[in-house]
Structure 1
Amino acid sequence: MTTRKRHSPEQVVRKLAQADRMLGEGKDIADVCRELQVSEQTYFRWRNQFGGLKADDAKRLKDLERENATLKRLLADAELEKAALKEIAPGKLLSPERRRAAVHHLITTMGVSERFACRVTGQNRTTQRHEPQAATPADPDAALRAWLREYAKTHPRWGFRRAYHDARGEGWTVNHKKIQRLWRDEGLRVPQRRRRKRLGTSTAPGLPKADAPNTVWAVDFQFDATTDGRPIKIVSIIDEHTRECLGGLVERSITADALADELDRVAAGRGYPVVLRSDNGPEFACAVMTDWAGEQVGLSFIPPGEPWRNGYVESFNSRVRDECLNINIFWSLAHARVVISDWKQEYNEHRRHSALGYQTPARYAAICTHRN
């Protein structure tokens, strides 16, 4: 009697990818399930759990031709909406006044209907046709608007909350919501002072050169997203001499503690590097990484706005983006982990590197005789 075989999530993702390729070659579901040695019920259950399919999606597959015809009819409207959005001035249309001006602009320049222009800008047609009191000669708030403009000119660092209390103190009968609305309508705002980015303190002298394995490790982050719009954060660790991808994480969020744990895991198998090179991101320029490095690892932070100073990992990230992230759609975090992990393994063991004499990074690391 044979026991029931259980598949890991990684095996399920790989089999679903194989099924997609077989379906693209013209095979039907029965042949695919026979080749994968699973039942059709298991296949659709996997699709529902790992492939992003819902319960009624299998039935909807039969209606694709009818839906495609509908999509073709909508394509013309979508292209027109796209052109209309490009025609509107950049920036969010947060107020009815800005939307009203955008609607008039679209009607005048593109000759579209008011209904279409209101739909593109998100303006209610009743609001569009309503004439605001501020645009009429008899604006009941004209005196208060003038007072607010003078108040903002006299006190440029004070906001609408302080203006509300001072207005009440001077006898204006008005609540804070109206002051905020008029303050916004007049374009009054307190300029925000941008916080300066934190600069990491390098503990490695000069510009370290990767003249031997385990001399310089480079680390950097990348971002992508799953089909549900949730972000994916990817960290890669590169040995600059052997070009090996030593490790990495694929998570929704990666903290400095998680990064330190991953560096310890990699170092447990090959030892700690002499220098760790990175940018000035908050995960690197923090107390956690300083404590992790201690006196055994030097930290080398590149100057802000100069990514070419960390060129090895930036080049690796461009390969990941071009050859993996841009050609795959991730259904889930597990799917992203499997695909990215497989790509990094192929990069280390099968992808020949021109800078290594067209040897793979793993092969070059095995025969490398350079020492610190």
Structure 2
Amino acid sequence: MSSVVESGLCSVRRACRYLSLSRSSWHYRERGGDGKKKLIERIIALSRKYPRYGYRRIRALLMREGWKVGRKLVQQVRRLEGLGVKGKKPRRRRGGTSTALPTKAGSVNEVWSWDFVHTRTENGVPLKLLTLIDEYTRQCLTIRAQRRLRSGDILDALSEVMSERGVPQCIRSDNGSEFIAKEVQSWFKDLGIRTLYIDPGSPWQNGHVESFHNRLRDECLNQEDFLSVLEAQIVIEEWRLLYNRVHPHSKLGFQSPDQFAMNHPRPEPNIQSGPEMVT
């Protein structure tokens, strides 16, 4: 492109329009050396691949790939390319006083959190999503997406996770009917799992899963139009795996949940089957 512009055969504006390239990006490439040009191209590529990531997470991904890059360059390139994350509407402050809960996760499988998220397919079919996370590693252990989720369904989802990871010490949740059902409480008691129920109307007491839900909506549910329940299940599961593998988490030193978990191995799984579930 540079040779064409320099020879006078084409203007910068026309060449950039033909190549679908912004003029600011072209000027960046011209001023820097080959290494800087490649770095700028990578900043742009990652910002477009992960449009809901801010400059800090993009920089973390670049450094993970081995680039030496300062935050100012990442910010400047993203600003000139119009790749900044659009601001969210301010959230209304909740009233009430939160109550401190006694258990904070200090190791893998110490505290899991679960909750529900609701969405719809493009033709209006309601979907209920059960999410389960490990509060220590921030890994999303499962997302079960169905039209309806009953107590038996959520116990089935938990059984699948526990067969791979072992049994947690505690599970934190709100007081939803599915979570306080006798069937669920009895199953937990038999497995020796303690339940931590937050105060009614106090979702901020389950802050880890609330934060995860914000990310799930922002990066997946609000970006997709699901044509069917099956498509939703496939897309959501792909996003879950990507989140665990790639997402630079600020509370984990910008490691991904999977990276953090690899550096903090869990103890040998304590796998128990528990009582048979009612189907």
Q: TM-score range by the shorter chain?
A: 0.5 to 0.7
Aligned to 2:164: 269
1:221 corresponds to 2:116: yes
Please, which of 146, 151, 154 is the counterpart of residue 256 of structure 1?
Answer: 151
Comparing 207-216 and 290-299, the one that deviates more: 290-299
Question: Residues 225 and 211 from structure 1, CA distance in 2 versus in 1: closer, same or farther, beyond 3 angstroms?
Answer: same
Query: How far apart are residue 248 of structure 1 and its match?
Result: 2.0
SS of 1:283's equivalent?
Answer: helix
> Residue 121 of structure 2 contacts residue 228 of structure 2 at CA under 8 Å; is this kept in 1?
yes
With normalisation by structure 2, the TM-score equals 0.58
Output one character per residue of 1:289-309: Cα deviation in whole Å (capped at 9) or x when no partner: 112101410011000011110
> Residue 143 of structure 2 contacts residue 236 of structure 2 at CA under 8 Å; is this kept in 1?
no
Q: Say which one has the larger Rg.
A: 1
> Residue 352 of structure 1 contacts residue 358 of structure 1 at CA under 8 Å; is this kept in 2?
yes
Q: Say what the alpha-carbon RMSD is for the aligned residues.
A: 1.7
Query: How far apart are residue 226 of structure 1 and its match?
Result: 0.9
Aligned to 1:308: 204
| Structure 1: stretches of 5+ with no match in the other structure | 1-24, 26-205
Give, in whole Å, the separation in 2 of the partners of 1:322 and 1:308.
Answer: 18
Please, which of 353, 357, 362 is the counterpart of residue 258 of structure 2?
Answer: 362
Query: How far apart are residue 229 of structure 1 and its match?
Result: 1.1
With normalisation by structure 1, the TM-score equals 0.44
SS of 1:210's equivalent?
Answer: coil
1:160-199 aligned at under 5 Å gives the runs none
1:1-372 aligned at under 5 Å gives the runs 207-295=102-190, 296-368=192-264
Output one character per residue of 1:60-107: Cα deviation in whole Å (capped at 9) or x when no partner: xxxxxxxxxxxxxxxxxxxxxxxxxxxxxxxxxxxxxxxxxxxxxxxx
Output one character per residue of 1:191-243: Cα deviation in whole Å (capped at 9) or x when no partner: xxxxxxxxxxxxxxx62110000000000000001122110011110000000
2:206 maps to a residue whose letter is N
Query: How far apart are residue 255 of structure 1 and its match?
Result: 0.4
Give, in whole Å, the separation in 2 of the partners of 1:316 and 1:345.
Answer: 14
Give, in whole Å, the separation in 2 of the partners of 1:269 and 1:369.
Answer: 14
Query: How far apart are residue 310 of structure 1 and its match?
Result: 0.2
Query: How far apart are residue 369 of structure 1 and its match?
Result: 5.4
Query: How far apart are residue 370 of structure 1 and its match?
Result: 7.5
Aligned to 2:81: none
Give, in whole Å, the separation in 1 of the partners of 2:251 and 2:266.
Answer: 16
Query: How far apart are residue 363 of structure 1 and its match?
Result: 1.0
Output one character per residue of 1:299-327: Cα deviation in whole Å (capped at 9) or x when no partner: 11000011110000000001001111111
Aligned length: 168
1:215 maps to a residue whose letter is E
1:216 maps to a residue whose letter is V
Give, in whole Å, the separation in 2 of the partners of 1:220 and 1:299.
Answer: 13
Give, in whole Å, the separation in 2 of the partners of 1:370 and 1:260.
Answer: 22
Give, in whole Å, the separation in 2 of the partners of 1:332 and 1:284.
Answer: 27
Query: How far apart are residue 338 of structure 1 and its match?
Result: 1.0
Give, in whole Å, the separation in 2 of the partners of 1:341 and 1:370.
Answer: 23
Output one character per residue of 1:111-138: Cα deviation in whole Å (capped at 9) or x when no partner: xxxxxxxxxxxxxxxxxxxxxxxxxxxx
Larger helix proportion, structure 1 or 2? 1
> Residue 143 of structure 2 contacts residue 240 of structure 2 at CA under 8 Å; is this kept in 1?
no
Percent same amino acid among aligned pairs? Answer: 39
1:264 maps to a residue whose letter is S
